């Protein structure tokens, strides 16, 4: 199954349903379910802004799954800002286009320790049905 590493607190905000668009500097043709991996390195500034306790956020674990249903291409700051309530970005973008992965059917799972990678990566040891155990 495919997986995507996302820094904390962004992974937690996705699991809470508060963040429904994941911002990337690269596009993808992939559509479908993927595992949400909370990367080992957190976004400290975002943790402060969203008032999370770093000690309570899991890093280095697969923590959920979601369905990537579409990609929005933001070609300007104006387009990007109009969806801020969905992507929650606190970081100023200076280079466009920026890609917004639209997430649906988001679920938290029992955490599974796992080393992440850049981009979408395959997690062969975990089958989709295994995440329900």
Q: Tell me the CATH architecture of domain 2-132.
A: Roll (2.30)
Domain spans of the chain, in order of start? 2-132
Yes or no: say if 117 and 37 are a contact pair by the CB < 8 Å rule.
no
- In the sheet with 61-74, reading across from the earlier edge strand, the strands are 21-24, 98-113, 61-74, 32-38, 2-6, 120-122
In this predicted structure, the answer to whether residue 129 has a pLDDT above a threshold of 60 is: no
Is the pLDDT at 133 greater than 70, yes or no? no
pLDDT per residue as tens digits for the range 118-128:
999 989 776 55
């Amino acid at each position: 199954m495919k997986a995507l590493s996302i820094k904390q607190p962004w992974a937690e905000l996705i699991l809470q349903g508060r963040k429904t668009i994941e911002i990337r500097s690269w596009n993808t043709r992939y559509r479908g379910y993927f595992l949400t991996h909370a990367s080992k390195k957190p976004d400290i500034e975002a943790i402060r802004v969203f008032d999370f306790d770093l000690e309570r956020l899991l890093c280095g674990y697969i923590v959920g799954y979601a369905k990537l249903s579409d990609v929005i291409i933001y070609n300007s700051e104006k387009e990007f800002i109009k969806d801020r309530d969905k992507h929650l970005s606190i970081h100023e973008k200076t280079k466009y286009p920026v890609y917004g992965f639209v997430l649906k059917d988001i679920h938290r799972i029992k955490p599974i320790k796992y080393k992440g990678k850049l981009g979408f990566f395959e997690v062969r040891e975990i089958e989709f049905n295994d995440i329900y155990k």
